[in-house]
Structure 1
Amino acid sequence: MSGLESVIENYTVGWICALQEEYDAACRMLDVEFRPTPSGLEIGPRDDNTYDYGMINGHYVVITCLPSGRYGTVAAAITSKDMIRSFPRLQFILLVGIGGGAPTRERDIRLGDVVVSYPEGDLGGVVQFDLGKLHQVDGEERRGSSLFKRTGHLNSPPSVLLEVMPRLLRSHEDATKADKLAEHIKLMDDMPSFRRPAQDQLYRSDYVHQGAGNVKTCRNCDKGQTIARPSRAGNREFMIHHGIIGSSNTVMKNAVERDRYAKELNISCFEMEGAGLMNHLPSCLVIRGICDYSDTHKNDDWHNYAALTAAAYARELLFTLRPLAVRSPRPQAPQPPAQEVPSQPQPLLAPGLEDASQVSGCCRLQ
């Protein structure tokens, strides 16, 4: 090791997971993993996170996972705040894992696909759909399109990533180009549990799962209630979708509600952590592999593969960005004027750069 891995200011990419399978896939995406933990790395005294360190395409990456058994926006917010305090030069955070899809006639979202948060209209890419006001009409409280009023606003992903995402999407959809994401998937070929499952069934929204609550398969469900979908053309194993991700502290397991939110807020995917990170600095991008259809038929069969497709997208995203030196510290919230202005720290130069005049930003397209 060169010794640069021991400089905490060199770490510019944060990667947060919520589940074990997401964490396993994340660590496999590293070009090199620094083990044991590089000497000299001292995280904040109040930081309870456990970190893994490594590099992807020259980016210094720090990975952590939410504590076992803790989920939701609050747990994610605590984890991210500790990471941000310990790593002052993070330029952005990637929240990578699984989510429930919201397929519509316009959006052919299938199991294993990847949904990435992307601004639409007045929404920044992630919407906390359980945050709002519920009005009473005619003595009856219900959540209807004209009764539930969303409040608050979540920030958009960082501009440097939004600029790259269309290029990555175009490359993936071009069948004449190499399938780079499939190459990343192969990094876990030695793990049979992460291979793509064979069965992908979407049931009608009004058809509820049959059998007791502990029946995790659909063997008792009427296959005649599934929605016929044509086979996909092309040579891609899964597809990428840019859109709005719905976030809350409750698992979406209701196809009728799923469809309503998909229509009202144009939500493509549901998850439980994103809203806890979006209004922090640095900005966050949410990447979700689709493991179910947010209905009563959900099970764990697609968890591992969906976690892997999301991690593969995150890896390719970092391969689309060319790492440069960190020109300046991450923007901080406004502070009261100090009595003395500290001297400006010198930029940390990436390998191959001899002086700061060669630095034009934190990241650029490859």
Structure 2
Amino acid sequence: MDEIVGLCWDAFPWISTQATRLGLDTQDNRFAQLGGELFILTQQIQSADQKEIQLKVVKLAELVNKACSISKAQHENLGALRRILEWKDSITPTEIALAKDVQRSLHQFVQYNPEYPSLLRLIADCLHAMNTPEELPDGHLMSKEILYPAHINNTLYTHLRMYSTCSCTTQHLDYARLRLDPEHDQQNASDVSFDLLFVKGHSPCAAKCQSRWKEVKVLVARRNEQTQKKRVSFAVKNWSLSSTKSGLPSTKSLRKVELGEFCRLIGSEKGTLIQFHIKDNVMKLADSVPGSICRSFLPQSTSLSAWLGKTAHLSNRVKITLAYTIARSVWQYYNSNWMTQPWTHDSIQIMKQNIGDANHIRPHPYFITKLHHRRGQILDYCLGDDLFHMYPNILSLGMVLIEIAAKQPFKPGSSNYAWDETTINDYYEWAWTTANSSNLGKTIGAAYQAVVNNCLDAELFVDSACELSKLDDGLEYRQTILYEKVVLPLRELYYAYKDDWEVLEISRMETPVYTPQTHTTSSRPTTGLHFSIAIFCALPFEADAVNELFNETWNEDGERFSRSAGDDNAYTFGKVLHHNVVLVHMAGMGKAAASQAASSVRSSYPEVKLALVVGVCGGVPSNSDGKEDLILGDVVISDGIVQYDFGRRFPDVFVSKSGPEVVSRPGPKLRGILAKLKGVRRRERLEASLLEYLEDLQNTLGSIRAGYPGVDKDELYHEAYRHKHRNPSSCKTCAHEDKENLTCEEARVMTCQQVGCQNSRLVQRKRLREASADGVIPKPRVHFGFVGSGDTVMKSGQHRDLTAAQHNLIAFEMEASGIWDNLPCLVIKGVCDYADSHKNKHWQYYAAATAAACMKAVLEDC
């Protein structure tokens, strides 16, 4: 038996080389697949010391021998393998003839012998048997890697959540990024190591340099069964901190951290290394910290979905590393506070490390989450009568593995992953169809395809000893099967693959903002005639959001873009994607200011053919006529501009005019662009790009200036419910019985909570309910339609609905009608309120950010 194992170990690598060469010569991936599988097997075959594994190796040796035999005589006593072993290293014509014979035999076997699929299955069985961990007396499997005990994951989560509760303006602890690391921990280590990223600072320079992040190393002590003590240490440094070989600081060098000091240290602009220790629920700060190795990262993170969509090529090495890293992390964090919802391509973020020039990067996956307080039991299963798959965490992992291998992000019909009975079946159907159509066995290998099939196998845990009524009892078993069937095979692929780390991103991706860009003289405009697009912003925070998305700015060259006499506008000159644009900082709001600004732009920059009006607006909420639900933070794009306050004033009523004299429609070219954007596929891409650019803005501007305010702050009251004092004793004016419509001036500037507006009068919306139930942020959507433009600020729910119904409006704003008189324009504005008496300014920054992000996404098609 030992002789046969040794024969296979010596001969299989040479056979693997011949199969690979045959694959290159014939361009038939089946030969390359056989060569790759044999190569992986040879990395493990020496450890085949169990009797059952040795028997599988004997059967495999017989079948490989048959595949390499040029005559029936070589079938006996493994004659072909013995011939290979004798001559494979000789530098003679015999070795050359041997290679030709074996290649000819392999060619016949792979193409015409029905036993070829059996050979691949047998290789997979051998690998599976070799890598199955030892079995413990209780029937559970022993992992070759470290499984994080539940108390370690939850200790990490709850301590971070507790110490991240702060009132600082930076809010750098929103959206913590937990690094998913493929490296293996030491079994005998006294601590489990975690790496996290937090947004550090809020200064303008921090948004454009590598030091805007703080990376936190968390060492969680393994539980001492005798003392039952826990210890958590935090090592904080700019960007990266690798594991240190030195021990933990002595207790003498620690001091207690004061209230609020943790947040100040994380938010500090200083590049010094900081280390915390938590013991017995007391946080202490270390005076001295060991050194570290820094990595160079791009400042922005990108969701896995957006990154896959914009990446032209990924080598198999990168795909397998990502797949293994994510699968291993799902196993280690399974059913903990970090996994209250299945991990999807949106919750996994890609941080990009520079390892050469600006176009050569290495992706690192991170899990992004808000550190919410978790209530109730966390379940890893979903029960339903018609479910294809009852374990959403495993199904979601399978979907991510398919997305990585096929480089094809899943696009759900809803903005939220609900993971209920209906949507789980939809996700399963997509995964099954995509996996079959992508032919993963040929593109990456049979082992990878087997892993995906295991994730999609509804009977993966069928041998579990737990009963349907006691599913929680089988959690440990399910975690063990996940390791055996998914993590281990990917682990072997991770170590076996030797090809390059190539990642080629398409040209649409802008150069990292922290890297100074170099341009030839011809790429930079030399005169004002080189600008084709003007962007108008009425408010400073609107312009700030747009300016952050410029790929380049040239304000230092403003003099060469000379303006005409009498042009008093303030400009920012720059480039967005491939467009030279001029950003117009308007002197104020309204049609008159917009008209004056547009007239000056037309005079100074005559080649500007398109004006984009970007900023915030009041939205018209959806009615019950089947229209798509509109919520705060969504973006509206104008199909036409309606001057709704143009009309006749009668003694009893104002009658708004309708018809072509008040509707400004875009020209043929702009209508073509709009028609393209409205298409189903392009609209999906538009919203995906919007989300990507919004993430960039949130990374650079921070959560205060670009963050989502919260689902609970998106309040839509019934149109007839007025904003006024609701307590009769608070205000006599608001409580006047004969004049119900009266509202005092004080109430107009107070919040709904201050005047007592009742939550029972709120209108419930499906998208917000789904987001609240899932604990996620609803993704902003794009709506197309007529936009009302006038000098009147709409602050009445009843007048809003009447005017919107008369002109078929979806939003109200105040500048576009003035710009249209001078330049053809497109309104791209984020919804910051519902144009009623309850409007406030809570949503202005987020709406401005979504509008700016949508503006850049639209320019991809212009």
Encode CA deviations 1:39-64: one digit per residue, 9 max, x unaligned.
Answer: 52211121001111111221100001
Provide the residue aligned with 1:17 in structure 2. Answer: 537
Which amino acid in the other structure matches residue 227 of structure 1?
A: V
CA distance in 1, matches of 2:752, 2:582: 37
Encode CA deviations 1:92-135: one digit per residue, 9 max, x unaligned.
Answer: 110111110111324322101111110xxxxxx11111111234
Is the contact made by 2:709 and 2:843 (CA closer than 8 Å) also made in structure 1?
A: yes
The reply on whether 1:115 has 2:651 as its aligned counterpart is no
Q: 1:208 aligns with which of 710, 716, 722?
A: 722
Q: 2:653 aligns with which of 124, 142, 146?
A: 142
Which amino acid in the other structure matches residue 215 of structure 1?
A: M
Q: Percent identity?
A: 30
Is the contact made by 1:254 and 1:296 (CA closer than 8 Å) also made in structure 2?
A: yes
Provide the residue aligned with 1:75 in structure 2. Answer: 593
CA pair 155-84 structure 1, distance change in 2 beyond 3 A: same
CA distance in 2, matches of 1:77, 1:148: 21
CA pair 98-178 structure 1, distance change in 2 beyond 3 A: closer
The reply on whether 1:167 has 2:676 as its aligned counterpart is yes
Q: 2:858 aligns with which of 317, 320, 328?
A: 317
CA pair 228-286 structure 1, distance change in 2 beyond 3 A: same
Provide the residue aligned with 2:808 in structure 1. Answer: 266
Which amino acid in the other structure matches residue 708 of structure 2?
A: R
Provide the residue aligned with 1:218 in structure 2. Answer: 753
Provide the residue aligned with 1:296 in structure 2. Answer: 837
Which amino acid in the other structure matches residue 291 of structure 1?
A: C
SS of corresponding position for 1:320: coil
* Structure index of larger Rg: 2
Q: 2:546 aligns with which of 5, 9, 26?
A: 26
CA pair 236-7 structure 1, distance change in 2 beyond 3 A: farther
SS of corresponding position for 2:748: coil
Is the contact made by 2:570 and 2:586 (CA closer than 8 Å) also made in structure 1?
A: no
CA distance in 2, matches of 1:83, 1:74: 14
CA pair 178-266 structure 1, distance change in 2 beyond 3 A: closer
CA distance in 2, matches of 1:172, 1:223: 38
The reply on whether 1:195 has 2:736 as its aligned counterpart is no
SS of corresponding position for 1:88: coil
Following superposition, the deviation at residue 163 of structure 1 comes to 1.5
CA distance in 1, matches of 2:724, 2:708: 25
Q: TM-score, normalised by structure 1?
A: 0.77
Which amino acid in the other structure matches residue 7 of structure 1?
A: T
CA distance in 2, matches of 1:173, 1:202: 26
Is the contact made by 1:133 and 1:150 (CA closer than 8 Å) also made in structure 2?
A: no
Provide the residue aligned with 1:357 in structure 2. Answer: none
CA distance in 1, matches of 2:604, 2:622: 42
Following superposition, the deviation at residue 89 of structure 1 comes to 0.5
Provide the residue aligned with 2:693 in structure 1. Answer: 184
Which amino acid in the other structure matches residue 749 of structure 2?
A: N
Following superposition, the deviation at residue 155 of structure 1 comes to 2.7
CA pair 97-84 structure 1, distance change in 2 beyond 3 A: same
CA pair 36-210 structure 1, distance change in 2 beyond 3 A: same
CA distance in 2, matches of 1:8, 1:50: 14
SS of corresponding position for 1:231: helix
Structure 1 unaligned residues grouped into runs of 5+ = 119-124, 322-366
CA pair 100-178 structure 1, distance change in 2 beyond 3 A: closer
Encode CA deviations 1:152-208: one digit per residue, 9 max, x unaligned.
Answer: 334322432321224334346548x98111111122223222111102111001111
Higher mean Cα deviation, 125-134 or 214-223? 214-223
Is the contact made by 1:155 and 1:279 (CA closer than 8 Å) also made in structure 2?
A: no
SS of corresponding position for 1:21: helix
Following superposition, the deviation at residue 236 of structure 1 comes to 6.4
Provide the residue aligned with 2:457 in structure 1. Answer: none
CA distance in 2, matches of 1:58, 1:254: 42
Is the contact made by 1:6 and 1:38 (CA closer than 8 Å) also made in structure 2?
A: no
The reply on whether 1:227 has 2:763 as its aligned counterpart is yes
CA distance in 1, matches of 2:778, 2:837: 28
Is the contact made by 1:52 and 1:62 (CA closer than 8 Å) also made in structure 2?
A: yes
Following superposition, the deviation at residue 90 of structure 1 comes to 0.7
Structure 2 unaligned residues grouped into runs of 5+ = 1-518, 726-746, 772-776
Following superposition, the deviation at residue 271 of structure 1 comes to 0.8
Provide the residue aligned with 2:605 in structure 1. Answer: 87
Which amino acid in the other structure matches residue 753 of structure 2?
A: C
CA pair 304-207 structure 1, distance change in 2 beyond 3 A: same
Which amino acid in the other structure matches residue 129 of structure 1?
A: Y
CA pair 22-49 structure 1, distance change in 2 beyond 3 A: same
RMSD between aligned residues:
2.2
Q: 1:306 aligns with which of 839, 847, 857?
A: 847
Following superposition, the deviation at residue 31 of structure 1 comes to 1.4
The reply on whether 1:237 has 2:746 as its aligned counterpart is no
Provide the residue aligned with 2:341 in structure 1. Answer: none
CA pair 208-57 structure 1, distance change in 2 beyond 3 A: same
Which amino acid in the other structure matches residue 556 of structure 2?
A: P
**Which aligned runs of 4 or more in structure 1 are off by greater than 6 angstroms?**
232-236
CA distance in 1, matches of 2:552, 2:752: 38
Is the contact made by 1:102 and 1:259 (CA closer than 8 Å) also made in structure 2?
A: yes
CA pair 87-98 structure 1, distance change in 2 beyond 3 A: same
Following superposition, the deviation at residue 83 of structure 1 comes to 0.8
CA distance in 1, matches of 2:857, 2:644: 29
Encode CA deviations 1:304-330: one digit per residue, 9 max, x unaligned.
Answer: 111111111111111112xxxxxxxxx
Which amino acid in the other structure matches residue 222 of structure 1?
A: Q
Is the contact made by 2:542 and 2:614 (CA closer than 8 Å) also made in structure 1?
A: yes
CA pair 165-148 structure 1, distance change in 2 beyond 3 A: closer
Higher helix share: 2
Following superposition, the deviation at residue 257 of structure 1 comes to 0.2
CA distance in 2, matches of 1:297, 1:109: 17
CA distance in 1, matches of 2:534, 2:548: 15
Aligned length: 304
The reply on whether 1:50 has 2:570 as its aligned counterpart is yes
Is the contact made by 1:154 and 1:278 (CA closer than 8 Å) also made in structure 2?
A: no
CA pair 88-74 structure 1, distance change in 2 beyond 3 A: same
Following superposition, the deviation at residue 246 of structure 1 comes to 0.8
SS of corresponding position for 2:592: helix
The reply on whether 1:133 has 2:648 as its aligned counterpart is yes
CA distance in 2, matches of 1:116, 1:20: 21
Encode CA deviations 1:65-95: one digit per residue, 9 max, x unaligned.
Answer: 111xx22101100001001110011121101
Is the contact made by 1:6 and 1:39 (CA closer than 8 Å) also made in structure 2?
A: no
CA distance in 2, matches of 1:158, 1:55: 24
CA distance in 2, matches of 1:21, 1:172: 29
Encode CA deviations 1:261-294: one digit per residue, 9 max, x unaligned.
Answer: 11111111011111111232x3111111100000
CA distance in 2, matches of 1:318, 1:285: 12
Is the contact made by 2:828 and 2:851 (CA closer than 8 Å) also made in structure 1?
A: yes
Is the contact made by 2:550 and 2:575 (CA closer than 8 Å) also made in structure 1?
A: yes
